[in-house]
């Protein structure tokens, strides 16, 4: 089954404690991205990757890092989480061209 | 700057009534357009998309959307809503280009409430 998976689905942490949210897709997609969803703001892109070892900032990259060492994986790293990063995070992927983006199930993060 | 606007934050519709959710975009050229639905506690599901061609697009769950270039709009419609349609609906756009930063730009969403 074609899918985008994220782990963990729920996470509670404390300010300053580094965390990683994993994202994996099994569709051999080149393009992957991370979004955060906040009430009243919709979804905003954090980072994206056009292919292995190619990443770039989206609209709200501050406080986040990403890496793309393998085509299927695109982890989101919060080196020092802060309460304003409490949000619902979605990973997405798509193939080349104008294909549909497929979204993961989301990771709900609470930073205390 | 590129933007997607959903003017209605909340909409309440009676079950069985028709529905129209509004979406306007602001792009240099006609973008690719999408409607996604998010049920409570769930991820995003694609309802339909418009790339080119016929301006009336059919999607899943009985939804359709009409692209109107003159109005920069891509409104979502359904002739008769069901209680299970209660959800958050997002309009999104991606630039019509061959590469670069081509992530989706989302509207802020419309929360649909279905009255019995």
| Nearest-by-Cβ selection for A103 from B43, B101, B103 | B43
Average pLDDT over residues A71-99: 91
Which of the residue ranges A38-42, A89-93, B57-61, B75-79 would you say has the lowest mean pLDDT?
Answer: A38-42
Is the pLDDT at A24 greater than 70? The verdict is: yes
As a whole number, the mean pLDDT across chain A is 93
How many Å apart are CA B62 and CA B18, to the nearest integer?
Answer: 11
User: CB distance A42–B109 less than 8 Å?
Assistant: yes
Residue A68 distance to chain B (closest CA, Å): 16
Residues of A in contact with B110 (CB under 8 A): none
Q: Residues of chain B whose pLDDT is less than 70?
A: 96-102
Cβ within 8 Å of residue A77, ≥6 positions away: A18, A19, A20, A64, A65, A66, A67
Average pLDDT over residues A1-12: 92
Residue A17 distance to chain B (closest CA, Å): 26
- Closest residue in chain B to residue A42, using alpha carbons only: B108
């Amino acid at each position: 089954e074609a899918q985008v998976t994220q782990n963990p689905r729920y996470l509670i942490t404390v300010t300053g404690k580094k965390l990683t949210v994993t994202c994996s897709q099994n569709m051999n997609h080149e393009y992957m991205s991370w979004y955060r969803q906040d009430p009243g703001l919709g979804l905003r892109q954090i980072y994206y990757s056009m292919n292995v070892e190619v990443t770039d900032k989206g609209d709200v990259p501050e406080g986040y890092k990403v890496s793309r060492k393998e085509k299927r994986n695109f982890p989101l790293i919060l080196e020092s989480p802060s309460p304003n990063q409490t949000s619902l995070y979605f990973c997405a992927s798509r193939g080349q061209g104008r294909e549909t983006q497929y979204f993961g199930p989301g990771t709900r993060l609470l930073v205390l | 700057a590129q933007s997607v606007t959903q003017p209605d934050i909340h909409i309440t519709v009676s079950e069985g009534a028709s529905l129209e959710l509004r979406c306007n975009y602001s792009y240099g050229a006609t973008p690719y357009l999408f409607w996604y639905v998010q049920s409570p506690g769930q991820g995003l599901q694609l309802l339909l998309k418009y790339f080119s061609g016929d301006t009336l697009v059919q999607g899943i769950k009985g939804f359709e959307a009409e692209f109107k270039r003159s109005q920069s709009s891509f409104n979502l419609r359904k002739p008769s809503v069901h209680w299970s349609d209660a959800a958050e609906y997002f309009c999104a756009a991606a630039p019509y280009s061959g590469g670069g930063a081509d992530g989706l730009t989302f509207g802020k969403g419309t929360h649909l409430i279905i009255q019995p």
